[in-house]
Structure 1
C-alpha cells in the first residue's frame, strides 16, 4: 500500500484462501486498474505529442464508479480540445479550396464552446464571413463593370482592417478612377453631342487605362470531399467510438486515392487490434484467463499485446495460488500445514490461529471494503477498524492513498471541466504531495494540456490575424499528426491569400493609379471559386480594354480632324451610352464643322465686300444683294434709323423717332425718305428693345407678296434683325423666305449683324467727323485767344504764390525758433528750480529741529517764491502752446463729486483764513458724471476761484453748479462778456460752473480786455493787486478746447460772476469709452503748478507744505523703505536734492551721470527696483537709455519714471512710447514723485490708497490770481 501511495502499482503475491486471499485479490485489482489507467495516459500522451494523432482516447478498465468517470472525464477533455481543432481544420480546408460556405459550429451537440475555443471558432467564422463578403463584393463589381458596363460600382465591406482593407481600398480606387475617367470622357462627349463645346476632360490619368484583373485561388473540389470524409471517420472513431468506419471518396486517383487507402488501412488495423484487445480484457474482467491476444501488431501495439498477454499469464498463476490458498485455508481449514485429527497442543494452537484469523478477518475485511470501494470508484470510504503494528501502518497507508486519489480525481475533473466545458485553455492539474507514478501521471496530463493549449492558441492567433487582414503571421508551434496537417493547411492558406492580395494590389495600382491597360493578376494553383473570380475579373479587364481602346481610337481620329470614324465595338450599360454619345458627337461635329466653315467663309466674304464704302445706301444695297440669296430668302428690306435730335448724343435702347427705307431686294424700289420715316413700332420696336432678332414662322397669307414674272406668293418665314451699336439702334433688316430659316442661317444673322453695325456706325461717325472738323477749327481759334489771357493771369498768380510761400517760410522759421527758445528756456529755468524747490522743501520740513522758526520761514519763503516763478514759466508755456495750437486735452470719465471735493478741500481753508464765507451748491438735475479733462477743469476753476478770493476783501465767494437747459439764453445778458472759443452746440447737455464774489467788481468796458493775454483791469504801475494777466486768457482757451466757453458778468463795487459752460461729454469724444485701467497713471504736465501756483500772490494764506514724515507711515512707510533707486541725471544739483528726499523716506540711492553709465550700474546692481531717468543728457539721452533697458529681457518689468525740465507738448507720450512707466516734469513735486514711486512699487495697493492722508498728502495751497 505504501508503494501504491507513491505511484508503484506492483501486485501483492498470491495468498492462501480466506479473507487475506480476498483482500489480496481486491488490492491487486486496484493496482491493475491503476496500472491500466497510467498506461493509457502514457499511450495517449505519446500518440498526441509524438505522432499528433487526435483520435486516441483512454480505454476504461473493468469496473464502475469514479474510475470510469475519471477516464470519461479525460476523454471528454481530449474530445473538447480535438473537436474544435478538427472543426477549424475542416473550415480552413474548405476556404483553401474556395468553399466559403463552411462555418465552425460553436455548439458541438449539447456542448457549447467557451473561452479560448469559442474565440478561435469566432475568429475563423469572422475570417470566412469577411472573405465571403469580400468575394461577393468583388464579383459584383466585376460583373457590373466588366459584363454589364455599369460604371461606378464599389466594393462595400464593413469592418475590414490590415491587408483586407488595403485590398478593398485598392479595388475601390481602381474602380473609382476608371469610373471617373470614363464618366468624365462620357460627360465631355455627351456635352459635345449636345452642342456644348466648352467642356474638356479634366480627370487625371497616366498610361493606358488598365483593366483590373483579380486572381483568386480555389482549392480542388475533390479535396473538399476528401476532407469531409476524413473528418467523418475521425469523428466516428475518435469521438463516437464507432470502430470499422471507412472513408469513401468517389472519383479520386493518384495521391488522393493512396491517401484514402492508407487512412482506411489504418482504421482497419486499429479496429482489429482494439477489438482483439477488448475481447481479451473482457474475458479477464469476466474471470476467463484462458484468452490471449493473437492479432498481428507492431510497435507500441505489439508492446501492448505482450503486456496484456503477460498480465493474463500472471493473473492466471496468481488465480491458481489464490484458489489453492483459499481452498486450504477457507475450505479445508488447514492452517500452517495442519494435519487432520490432531488434538492437545495442536488444538490450542489451532484455536489461537483461529482467533488470530478472526482478528485478521475483521481487519482485512474492513481494508477489503475500502479497497473494493476505491476499485469501484468510491473514494469516500476509509479504514476504521482498530489495528496495531504493521496492520496499523497498512491502515494509514490505505487511507493516505485514498486521500491522494481523491485529490488527483478532483484536479483531473477540474481541468476537464475548464477545458472541455468552459473552453478555458491553460488549465493545469495541481496535486500536492504525490510522487512516483502519480506525479508522472499528473505531469503527463499537464504536458498534454500545455501542448494542446499552445497549439490551439497559436492557431487562433493566426486565424484572427487573417480575419483582421494581417497575412504576415503563420503557425510556428511544434505539432505532429493531425495538428501538423492543420498547421500546414492554415499556413498554405495564408500564403495563398497573401499572394492573392499582392496581385490584386499590384493590378489595382497599375490600373487605378498608373493607367496601364492590359495588366493581369497572376496567382498560380487556384481553382473553384477563386478561379471563377479570377476569370470574371480578367473578362472585365478584357472588355474594358477593348471598349476604351476603341473609344480612344475614335477620339484620336476626331482630334486629328477625321470625322468619318465611329465606335463599333459591342458594349452594354453606361459604356453603351458612352459609345452612342461619342458616335452622335462625331456626327454632330461633322455637321457643326460644315456649318462653321460656311459661317466663317461667308462672314469673311461679306465683311470684305463692305470695306472701303462710305455711302450708306450703297452699302445697304450691297448687303441685301449678297445676304438675301445666301440664306435662301426671296424678299428683303433695309431700314435706316432716323435719330432724335434731342437724344442723338445719348445711348438709349431705341434712340430713333422713325425708320427710312433705303434699300430692298425683290420689292418695289421706292424713293428714299430722308426724314419723317416710318414710326418705330410693332415687331421692329420690340426687336430693338429686346436687342435680339425676331423670327416669325408661318406668316399669314396677306402679310406680304413675293412677285416674279410668272406670279406671286406669300412667304413662309419672316426674320427681323435689329442693327445695334453700343445699345443704339442704327437700323433694321427684314428678310422673307418661302422656306424656313435654318439654325445655321440664324446663327449667321446673329454674328453678321455686329459687323454690319460696326460698318454703319463707322460711316455715320466719319460723316459726323467731317461736319465737326470745321466747328473744331473755329473753336480752336477761340481757345488760343483765351489761353493767352490765362497765361498772363497765371504768371501774376505765380508771383503772388512766391511771395506767400516766402512769408510762410519766414513764419515757420520764426515759430520754430520760438519753440526751441521756449523749450531751452524751460529746461534752463526748471533745472535750477528743481534743486531749489526740493532743497527748500527739505529745509522747511526741519525733521531734526536744527533750524529756528525764522530759518524755517526763510526756507518756506524761498519755496514759495520758486513756486511763483514756476507758475509764471508754466503760464508762458501754456500761452505758447495755445498760440501754436498744441495745447492738448485728455478727456476721461470724471465723477462730479470728485471735482467738487477737490474744490472744497482746496479753497475752504483759504476762505476761512481770509474771513470769507465759501458756499458750494449743486443743482438737483446735475449729472453725476461727465466726460472731460479733469486737470484742465481744475485749472480753470482754480484760476476763477483764486481771482474771486484775491479781489474780495469781505463777504463771500460762491460756486454754483447747475445744468443749463438753454445756454444761448443764459449767454445773452447785456452786461456780460462772452468768450466764444468753444464749440457748444445746440442740443448739447451743458453744465455751468458759476463763481461769484462780493469783491471790487470790474467795469463794463474792461470786461473784454481781461481775457486778453497780459491784460488787467488795472494796468498801472501802482496797482494794488499783482499778477501777470495770463490766467483768464489761458482759461478761456482751455474752455474752448473742452468745448465750452466762459461768460463774465460784473458790476463795480458789487462783485463779479464768471460762469464756465462745459458740455457733459467733451466734443469729439462722445463715442469714446473710458480710459483703459491698465494705462500708466495720468500725471499732468502742470501738476506741480497746480499744487503751488494757486496762491502765489496771497502772502497771508500760503499753507504749510506737507512734511516728509507723513511718508514714513501708513502704506508708504511699508512700501518705500529699503527699495533701491537708480537716478540717471547729468546735473549733480538734481541728484543731490533727489538723493536727500528719497533718503528721508528710507530709500537707498545709486547715481549715474548718463545713460551708458546707468546701464552699467544696473548690470552691477541687480537689486535696483526703480529708475528715475533724466531725458536731456550727453552721450546717451534718456529716450535711448529707456529703449536699451527695455530691450534687455530681465529689465522688461523694471519701473522707470522719466524726469525732464523741458516739459514741452508730446514729451510725456514720447516717454511712455519708449518704455517709461510714468512721467514727472521738473521741477519735481516731491509729493507727486513719491506718489508715483509708491504706486509703481506697490501697484496692487494703488487703487483707493494713493490719496490717503497718511500715504500721499493731497492738501494743496490756495489758488492765487494770475490775471488781474
Structure 2
C-alpha cells in the first residue's frame, strides 16, 4: 500500500518478494528437469518462422540488455530457411536460457544470437542449423566446461551470490537440445567471453514467394517535397504508405532490407522514418539503434509499424509504435503528427561542370535540407556568389573555364569565406601543396566515388548539426595544445583544420618516434594518436609515453581499427579513450571537451 510502509519495511518487502520469485523459479526448474529426465516431454512440432523467433527473443530480452547498457544483436546468415518444422516453445526456452545467462554474466560490451547453417550435419535427411549465442562477458575456465551443464552446478560458490540463479538453466538447456535431436557445445576462455553453440536438425519448409519479391532491388523514390524513408519488405503496404505520403506533400524513399536502410540513413537526410521490425536480413531494432546513433537523425520522428507487439517495457521519446493491421485513419494520423523543422533551408552554391553529376548532387543536397544554387562553370559561380550570400560551397576543382583554386581565391576577394563551409568535391588527386593552399579556407576535401554520396554527406552533416544544435562553448578549448600523431597527410590536414577552427594549437608529427621527441621538447594538453604508423606504431608510443615518460595528459586513440577488441587493445596500451575513424565533428568536439576538462593537472614539462 503506497505511503504506508517505512523505508526499512519497503526493503524487507522487496527482499521477501525477490526470495519468493527465486523459490518459484527453482520449483519450476526442478519440475522441468524431472519431467525431461523421466522422458515425459512431449514435443509440439509446428511450422516456425525464424524471423518471428528472432524478433520475439529480441523484444523480450532487450529491456534487460538496456538496463545493463549492453548491445543485444541478432544475425541471420544468408540461405537460412524462413520456415522450419520444430517445437517453438522448447526452442525459445533453449535460446532464452542461453541469452539470459549471457546478459547476466556480461558487464560491458554485447551479446549476439546468430543463426546459420552448421558445418557439422547431424541428420542425413534434414538440415542442421547452428544457433550461436556469443557474449563479451567473464568467460569460463575450460576445466569447468562440462561441469556447468550438470544440475545445480555453477562456476564457483561466489557465482550464485554475485549473479543469482538456480544452477539448473544449462542442465535443462542441454537436455532439451538432446530431446530435439541436437548437440550443445561451449567455447570460452576466462576474460574473453563465451560462445554457446547449439546444433539442431530441422525440416526446412518451402514458402511461397511473391513474383515481385526482390528484397535487394534498388530503393523506390516517389513524389516531391521533404523526403521520408519507408523501411518495409511488403511492397503492397509500402505503396499505400508512399501514396499517403504524397497526399500530405512528402516524397518517399522505399527500401525492403535493413542493410539498404542503414546505407540510406548514412548518406541522406530524412524528415521522418517509417520502420518495420520483421525484415529479410536484420531486425528493425538494429536499424533503430543505428539511426539514433547518427547525428543527423537523432531527433527525427520514427514510426514503427509492425505485426510484432510493442515490448512491454519499451518506450522512446520521438517514436510512435503501431501494430499491424492498422486502419487508414491511423496511417493518416502518422503524417499529421510529423512536424517539419521551422529552420529555413541553408543556402549552398554547387559548382560542377558535368550536368548529370550536377543534377544528382542538387537532388541529394536538397533532400539534406539545403537551398541549392547549381552552376556549371566558374563564370556562372562568380555571378551567383556576387548576388547572394551562401553558407556552404561545394566545388569541383576541374572546371572548364577556371581552375577551382583560382575560383576560390576570386570568391574570397569578393567576400571573405571565413564562416562559410567550403567542400572540395573532386575526382583529381590533391597534393600536399594543394592542401596547403586550401587550408586558409578551412576546406574539407572529398574524393568523388561514383554514386556513393556518403563522404559528401558526412562532410556537410557535421556543418548542419552545428547549425541545428546549441554550440558547445569553445572558449575553454582556445589555446590548448594538442599533439596530433598520424602518418596520413590527408588526416593531418583535415584534423588540423578542424582543431585550428576551435582555437587549439596543433603540433602534427608523422610517427611514434617524432611523437616522443615532440613530447620531450614541449608541453601539451592532449595527444591524438593514430595506432598504425611506420617506424613506431601508436601502441608502442603510448606505452612509452605512459610508462617511461610518466605522461599524465590524456592520450586518445584515433584510428581506423574498429573491430571487436580493438578498443580494449588501445586502452591496454595506455590510451585514455578511443575514437574510430572516420570521426564526426561533433563526436570529436565532445571528446575534446570531456578530456580537456579533466586534464587540469600540471602538464609534464620537457626534462633535461
Query: Which of the five TM-score ranges fits, normalised by the shorter chain?
Result: 0.3 to 0.5
Q: How high is the TM-score relative to the length of structure 1?
A: 0.16
**Which of the two has greater strand per residue?**
2
Q: How high is the TM-score relative to the length of structure 2?
A: 0.32
**Which of the two has greater helix per residue?**
1
* Larger Rg computed on CA atoms: 1
